[in-house]
Amino acid sequence: MTEVKYIFVTGGVTSSLGKGIISASLAKLLQARGYSVTIQKLDPYINVDPGTLNPYEHGECYVTSDGAETDLDLGHYERFLNVPTSQANNVTTGRIYQSVINKERRGDYLGKTVQVIPHITDEIKRSIKLVGSGGKFEIVITEIGGTVGDIESLPYIEAVRQLRWELGPHNCIVIHLTLVPFLHASGELKTKPTQHSVKMLLEEGIQPDVLVLRTEHSLTEDVRRKVALFCNVEAGAVVESIDVSTIYEVPVRMQQEMLDLTVLRKLGLSPGHDPALDEWKEFLYKLKNPVHSVNIALVGKYVELADAYKSISEAFIHAGAANETAVNLTFIHSEEIDEENYREKLAGYDGIVVAPGFGSRGIEGKILTVNHARTNDIPFFGICLGMQCAVIEYARNVMGLDGAHSTEINPKAKHPVIDLMEEQKSVTEKGGTMRLGSYNCEILHGSESWKCYRKEEVTERHRHRYEFNNKYLADFRNAGMLPCGTNPQSGLVEIVEIPSHRWFVGVQFHPEYSSTVLRPHPLFVGFVKACIKK
């Protein structure tokens, strides 16, 4: 078996520089050169996974097909690479400690004192090597969350230092991402923060091999040379990452900067074939040259932080490009929608989405939103909680079931049209206990969803505890809301539609997680198409 090569991506100066996008872009280029690549994210926080985090903390929780609740960067990895990730691709400090403590309880350490070094660092190294061990990948890119110098990322940096020493510089390189600020007063790009950040990394025992500099202005030769000299890297290994209008342009920019070739050379690998980016560039062209445009309202309760709906926004970018359409997405807070203002707040949109979510806050605003879309024949797409709201709205306003609700919101609802799943009734712990990951869905031939997928059976990812209450199945069907997607094993309703409506689809699953640049999700594509027609 060929030896696996490791690339580590660290960040300095500030957070939010886009390590995830740089990692995904580099992976894309290496993949386009014929290498099998995967990306892993190490998160320094103590939660075992981000599943229990409020979306305001770290943005959306991304769900992999094997049911792991992970960091949203994994979404970028999948959207760029078109290759599924799994639990092993996201490790947190909480998970590392959990596993070390479990070993200690089992007596695996044979009476030794358990310490950060070597036990925690060994566990980190084990997690890194685990991704590369299956023989599926030639290159593993590991992104270290946080910023160099943070107390909590120290064990990760130490693990990287040790791995470099163990595997040798040809098998393991470090890319450090920093910021080069532009001072308007003096009209200059400043390299000192980068120099300090590299010094910090050096103090922790790591000499970076490549520097990627985030900047608002093009780097001059002088700046590049200065950074190379003072940070002790080759001139060719100083890479500019200038602000661009879309993240999907970053791979093309990184190719121009020859990041892929520099990395391959340092790893002692051949350049492979010329990167096949034709489809990618075609997507970019369509994205930048739309023929139509649609205005879509997304109603949810985490709208203050756009990252909370990252995968949905990205899925609309993919579906927009597929339709040569600019999708203007407006986030509307469901708590701000009430009986008095909903017509005005929702006026003028070509389509309406009710977003996933948890708990009662803003729920009536979401139900009113569904009502508005349904009664005005506006294309409607309800995702997870959005689908549940559509069911509640239909029960109350079409079927006359007063007091219809989800038992998540009202456990004593007179008509519990959405109810806790049977297997959830005995669950007491919050972390990792929802119905998570991929399940099959059988689709009714001829339904709107079928017209999108052109398939009778699909697999989609999930993250929920409540479901359509099948006691009401016949009533809904008779009243004109069609359950047209079901899980064949459990009978759980996965999709509802209103056939008399222009385009009204509610899905219990999360189609947004599996939309990628090269494989835009059929339901998003179909929904955008319906919005254009309107």
- The residues annotated as belonging to the active site are 384, 510, 512
Q: Which residues pair with 20 in a beta bridge?
A: none
**Strand ranges (E), 249-356:** 292-300, 325-333, 351-354
Are 334 and 365 in contact by the 8 Å Cβ rule? The answer is yes
Query: Which secondary structure element, helix H or strand E, spans residue 262, and what is its range?
Result: helix 259-266
Give the nearer residue to ligand GLN in terms of CB position, either 176 or 462: 462
Q: How many CA atoms lie within 13 A of 494 on its CB side?
A: 27
Are 290 and 326 in contact by the 8 Å Cβ rule? The answer is yes
Longest distance between any two alpha carbons in the chain, whole Å: 75
Q: Is the peptide bond before 181 cis (omega within 30 degrees of 0)?
A: no
Tokens of 85: 């990730």
Tokens of 416: 């519990």
Task: Give the full edge-to-edge strand order of the sheet including 504-507.
Answer: 325-333, 292-300, 351-354, 380-383, 504-507, 493-497, 482-486, 435-443, 457-464
> What is the crossing angle of helices 19-32 and 259-266, to 10°?
80
Give the nearer residue to ligand GLN in terms of CB position, either 156 or 509: 509
HEC assignment per residue over 357-395? CCCCCCHHHHHHHHHHHHHCCCCEEEECHHHHHHHHHHH
Identify the three-state secondary structure at position 170: coil
> What is the crossing angle of helices 19-32 and 73-81, to 10°?
20
Radius of gyration of the chain measured on its C-alpha atoms: 25
Burial of residue 274, with CB atoms counted within 10 A of its CB: 0-12 exposed, 13-18 middle, 19 or more buried: exposed
User: Which residues bind to ligand GLN, rule: CB under 6 A?
Assistant: 356-358, 384-385, 408, 463-466
Q: Residue for token digits 């339904």?
A: 447
Are 327 and 294 in contact by the 8 Å Cβ rule? The answer is yes
Any residues with CB less than 8 A from the CB of 285 and at least 6 apart, and which? none
What single-letter amino acid sits at 189? Answer: L
Q: What's the CA gap between 288 and 281, in Å, rounded? A: 10
Q: What's the CA gap between 89 and 71, in Å, rounded? A: 10
The H-assigned helical ranges of 213-331 are: 221-231, 250-256, 259-266, 278-288, 310-322
